[in-house]
Amino acid sequence: MAGRVADSHAADDGTANSVSLLISILVRYPEIATVNFVPQGKVLRFTLMVSGPVSGDIWEAFTGGLRERVEAYAALVHGMSPTLQVERRDYSEVSLVEISRDAATLTQEEISLIIEFARAQLGPSLITEGPVADVAFDEDIVFQDEMIENMLEDLKETIQHRKLIGFREDGRVFVFNKQSEKQSERTRS
């Protein structure tokens, strides 16, 4: 029985750390509209919003350049190729850019690399909420970066079963446990 209680607390700590990670990422990077944690494969999915449609030329340059940079970074730091997926969904007024990356080798520096590249390639059409962090290293930014790095390390070592989604609305950040419809139906029965 004691083992089950310890496992339960470890799972709760893992969930709390994952929630804190999503919050920290959203606070640190105002360009990220949503961040999802998918426990199958421990994948983090970042969603960026772009005003209007993204042209084919810009999209090709963005996906090719992003893939090249992420793969080069991962090869230098980890000596391996990462799992990376980049998708786009166009709507009449906005395009959603989804970047999925396995958390097994993801670092805070790589998240910064992804966001800096998105800023450079998508320019002013990249929708942000609040001010974009200045190039100067602010103490708060350094602290946030360290927190994100530590929580990414914790995520790699814990077992997490909950699908989480974090998003921002009117200057606030929310994180929810995202259940599938089948699980929700079973809960209601």
| Contact present, 64 and 19 (Cβ < 8 Å) | no
Residue 178's alpha-carbon distances to 9, 109, 184, in angstroms, are 20, 27, 10
pLDDT in tens, 22-54: 999 999 999 999 999 998 888 999 999 999 989
pLDDT, residue 131, reads: 60
54 lies in which domain range?
2-188
Residue 132 pLDDT: 56
> What is the C-alpha to C-alpha distance for residues 107 and 148, in angstroms, rounded to an integer?
8
pLDDT at 185: 41
Amino acid at the residue 113 = L
pLDDT value at position 97? Answer: 97
pLDDT at residue 4 in the model: 32
Give yes or no for residue 188 having a pLDDT over 80.
Answer: no
Segment 131-145 shows an average pLDDT of 69
- What would the mean pLDDT of 96-112 be, rounded to a whole number? 94
For residue 168, the number of C-alpha atoms closer than 13 Å in the C-beta half-sphere is 23
**Contact between residue 179 and residue 186 where contact means Cβ atoms under 8 Å apart:** no
Give every strand in the sheet of 94-102, ordered side by side: 84-90, 94-102, 43-51, 32-38, 164-169, 172-177
Q: What is the pLDDT of residues 154-175, one digit of tens each?
A: 888 887 788 999 998 888 999 9
Cα 128 from Cα 162, distance rounded (Å): 27
What is the residue type of 47?
T
**Mean pLDDT of the region 57-79:** 94
- C-alpha angle with apex 153: 82 to 116, nearest 5 degrees? 55
How far from chain centre, in Å, is Cα 62?
Answer: 18
Count of domains forming the chain? 1
Mean pLDDT, range 7-36, rounded to an integer:
80
* Rounded-to-integer distance, Cα 84 and Cα 62, Å: 14
